[in-house]
Structure 1
Amino acid sequence: MRPHLADPAFWTLPRDQRLAAFAQLRQAEGPAYFVEREAGRHRRERGFYALVRHADVVEASRLPEVFASAPGVTSPEPPRWVRAVFGDSMVNLDGPRHAQLRRIVSRAFTPRVLADAEAGIRELAGRIVDDLIASRADEFVSAVASRMAFEVICDMLGVPEQGRLDIARQVDRASENAGVSRTLRSRVRVRVPGRGLRALGRMQLTVAALGRERRRHPTGDLISALVGADVDGQGLTTRELGSFFSLLMVAGVETTRNAIAHALALLTDHPDQRELLVSDFERYADGAVDEIVRFSTPIIQFRRNVTRPHVLGGQALVGGDRVMLLYASANRDESVFTDPDSFDITRRPNPHLGYGGGGPHYCLGAHLARVEIKALLRELLSRPLALRAVGMPELGHSNFDNRVRAQRVAYDTPRRSAV
């Protein structure tokens, strides 16, 4: 029986069952079509083609003129009034305006900024692990993974210490509505990313105030760079700054946090890979980070909207069709990855799509995320605390991100480290 990816109940299945369903779909002749909403008297049918193969996801990612992000990469798309109030996120834009915004933002990710950030990230990783050892916390996501990802972004942006606790609460409220949940009557439904509008509104007000202050008194942080940027005579408007701030806070924090949380579970479940990494950290660390991202795939899928006729994977598409780019499936494609369900930090090559399939929407923060994960792994594996995950991670039901809500940990007998 073919899996039904448009049924919210599918996304509440155990992850191994969903991965098995993707494998089944990859054996089909072309992309499968799924109906989300039946045609009615006054409404048109809504559905999408599921792109489950690595090659199809890459092709769609690198043809933005055919596979557009506008009006939205999530499902349902953001209502027009929400976009009018909060502005369009870069992930939902195409063409010249997307290119212009990306140029502005990418100038803030200059080699100097990233070099400064890398030094601070390593120092932060050390402090976080020091605090973990001192407190003997038994939950990893809140004590380590969330803190690492959030504080790196705040440090780069220049968010003052006194305002961070409130922003962290707003990030949690904004991101908790992306996924799948059960109602009180046990009816499964899709939750809409961005439905925490009050939280998004408060974040927008926060960054607007920071932006005004940085225009008057630049400090060399990312917000100063963004408000002072000038590309083709334009910088970021207040709404665009707020939209980028929300994107970086929610997407940047959530995805990196989840990758770090999955990393601990994977290295606990695969002690041979952990020992290999410890034996020569500098040799294996970059490969370990890429394999963690491939295996866990923090972002499960994004949508694209077809603008004109095109044949993809043997399927004829027409303007108005919609496709789902399933990174979680592409990262297990047997035609690309040998033994794809094995966790192997020596995997070469490893052309995973954990940061997207290339093209104009490839993740700007990919390098930053790699630096964060590597810095934290270095600290965790260089200390004689022998931290390990206990039990299965508590995963959120989501058709959007591979979220880890909590991961219990324990401390074994101290040991010498070879890192």
Structure 2
Amino acid sequence: MRSRRRLARTLPNMTHRLTDPTFWTQPLNDRMLEMGTFREAEPFTEVAFTNEFTGEQERFFAVTRYDDVVAISKDPKTFSSASGAISIVDLPPDALEFFGSFINMDNPRHQRQRAIVAKSFTPTELANVLDSVETIVTEVIDGFCEEGEVDLVKALAQPFPLLVICDMMGIPRSEFDTVLNATNIILGGGDPEFVGEGDPMTAILGAGLELTNLMNELADERRKNPTDDLTSKLVHADVDGEMMAPEEVAPFFILLAVAGNDTTRTALSHGMNLLSQFPEQRAAWQADVDGVTGTAVEEIVRYSAPVTFMRRTLTTDFEMSGHQFAQGDKVVMLYGAANRDPRAFDQPEVFDVRRSPNPHVGFGGPGPHFCLGANLARRELAVAFREIFKRLPDIEVVGDAVPLDAAGLPLVGGIKHLPVRFTPTAPTS
């Protein structure tokens, strides 16, 4: 009883730390342990914050237990994605213009647009893309394998998944740096290294505009001259008489370039760092690459939870796990905390590359908003680590992982620098 009272007294200060930037620059396990304290104290933790657009005090409820995250994900009628956005604060209309793809929609709009996109994400349609993943990772490793010491994020984790997406969409390689710089700004969460010294929201909107203009030009070209890339398929897709409107193509590309890219990018960086922290797990994986890769990839996503959160908004008064929510309340699902819930996982703080079963929510909870690109991300991670083990078998982390310096609670808990060393090898060609 004494320990429960002491825990309750410490919660107000700890609750505030969820919106404190220093909370998110802690090592991964330190912040996960703190979120575990919220989770074990109560199912929903009330968090007060200042809305950066209005200057007003607002609140959200942090959802940290696995069963609650799953239940909310399965109930889009009660927990809306379209009421203001999936970010902590409601996005202004000009921001939603760039970032308003179907991730910020409810049915029927969500169902309509996702159905059009999903037609291009079937296993058959993705077959050529999945094959190209191996070619691209080989190309990227060729670019640094002779150096012996690199920043793994800049050398591999950053370019590799984005090159896959650009090639898939038909973005010319000459525009790759433009896309990379813009996505770094959008994903950086206000990190000065990416947005500079100016206003972060101005920089993010500028990056969104740059990607929108690039994508609109490409979509116009594909309408006139169809090819076999995803952009052409999207602008010509017809699902039950429905086609993607011109203004819907660019927001989808931004979603794919940002969310689709960064799940792999962040999981790759965290995965390499985790293997350095748990050498016995690395040894087990390298000893049986074919047998362990599938479960190891899932465990990296569970343990690191690249996507930090998604918000939903209550459409009605509703009771869950003994808590009475009111219409308009915001709930923020913290996937990392749910992925370490001992009610759902045996020894959740243990990193186990052979863990099975592993029903993590690292790609989102089950339901209509489950990550459409999950299988592509799995393929990218599997191929990347196979090639690393094959071509750079003695690669080791030689410095601290540098986290994103986000302005608040980041959408992606990324690593922006990870120094590694390995025996130099020759390119494949």
| Pairing 1:47–2:59 present | yes
Give the deviation of 1:387 after TM superposition.
0.9
Paired letter, 1:164: F
Give the deviation of 1:211 after TM superposition.
0.4
Cα distance in 1 for partners of 2:259, 2:331 equals 21
Cα distance in 1 for partners of 2:244, 2:99 equals 11
Equivalence for 1:82 = 95
Q: Cα 1:384–1:26, aligned 2, differ >3 Å: closer, same or farther?
A: closer
Pick one of 14, 21, 37 that aligns with 2:26: 14
Cα distance in 1 for partners of 2:394, 2:99 equals 46
| Pairing 1:155–2:167 present | yes
Q: What does 1:166-177 align with in structure 2 at a 5 Å threshold?
A: 166-177=178-189
Kept in 2, the 8 Å contact 1:385–1:413? The answer is no
Q: What does 1:332-351 align with in structure 2 at a 5 Å threshold?
A: 332-351=340-359
Pick one of 145, 154, 157 that aligns with 1:133: 145
| Pairing 1:407–2:407 present | no
Pick one of 106, 109, 114 that aligns with 2:121: 109
Equivalence for 2:361 = 353
Secondary structure in 1 matching 2:143: helix
Equivalence for 1:32 = 45
Equivalence for 2:386 = 378
Equivalence for 2:403 = 395
Equivalence for 2:281 = 273
Q: Cα 1:10–1:54, aligned 2, differ >3 Å: closer, same or farther?
A: farther
Pick one of 233, 239, 250 that aligns with 2:258: 250
Give the deviation of 1:24 after TM superposition.
1.2
Cα distance in 2 for partners of 1:338, 1:37 equals 37
Give deviations 1:287-334, integer Å, cap 9, x for gaps.
000001111110111111000122112111121111010101001111
Kept in 2, the 8 Å contact 1:388–1:410? The answer is yes
Q: Cα 1:395–1:166, aligned 2, differ >3 Å: closer, same or farther?
A: same
Give the deviation of 1:43 after TM superposition.
9.5
Kept in 2, the 8 Å contact 1:8–1:180? The answer is no
Cα distance in 1 for partners of 2:392, 2:412 equals 33
| TM-score normalised by length of structure 2 | 0.88
Kept in 2, the 8 Å contact 1:177–1:195? The answer is no
Give the deviation of 1:80 after TM superposition.
2.1
Give the deviation of 1:384 after TM superposition.
5.2
Paired letter, 2:153: V
Cα distance in 1 for partners of 2:191, 2:345 equals 28
Cα distance in 1 for partners of 2:192, 2:80 equals 25
Kept in 1, the 8 Å contact 2:289–2:386? The answer is yes
Q: What stretches of structure 1 move > 3 A for 4+ residues in a row?
A: 42-45, 177-181
Give the deviation of 1:239 after TM superposition.
1.8
Q: Cα 1:99–1:397, aligned 2, differ >3 Å: closer, same or farther?
A: same
Pick one of 121, 134, 143 that aligns with 2:155: 143
Cα distance in 1 for partners of 2:214, 2:324 equals 46
Give the deviation of 1:173 after TM superposition.
2.2
Pick one of 296, 299, 305 that aligns with 1:297: 305
Cα distance in 2 for partners of 1:20, 1:264 equals 21
Equivalence for 1:237 = 245
Give the deviation of 1:191 after TM superposition.
6.4
Cα distance in 1 for partners of 2:33, 2:200 equals 24
Give the deviation of 1:145 after TM superposition.
0.7
Cα distance in 1 for partners of 2:252, 2:101 equals 6
Kept in 2, the 8 Å contact 1:12–1:180? The answer is no
Cα distance in 2 for partners of 1:43, 1:137 equals 45
Root-mean-square deviation over aligned CA pairs: 2.4
Paired letter, 1:126: T
Secondary structure in 2 matching 1:133: coil
Give deviations 1:18-63, integer Å, cap 9, x for gaps.
222211112224312122249xxx9985211111000001100110
Equivalence for 1:59 = 71
Kept in 2, the 8 Å contact 1:288–1:346? The answer is yes
Give the deviation of 1:64 after TM superposition.
0.2
Question: What is the number of residues matched between the two proteins?
Answer: 403
Deviates more, 1:206-215 or 1:108-117: 108-117
Paired letter, 1:146: Q
Secondary structure in 1 matching 2:72: helix
Paired letter, 1:401: V
Deviates more, 1:12-21 or 1:260-269: 12-21
Paired letter, 2:415: V
Secondary structure in 1 matching 2:76: coil
Kept in 2, the 8 Å contact 1:258–1:402? The answer is yes
Equivalence for 2:3 = none
| TM-score normalised by length of structure 1 | 0.90
Cα distance in 2 for partners of 1:267, 1:251 equals 24
Cα distance in 2 for partners of 1:167, 1:43 equals 32
Give deviations 1:231-255, integer Å, cap 9, x for gaps.
2423112221010011111111122
Equivalence for 1:216 = 224
Equivalence for 2:206 = 198
Kept in 1, the 8 Å contact 2:392–2:423? The answer is no
**Percent identity of paired positions between Structure 1 and Structure 2:** 32
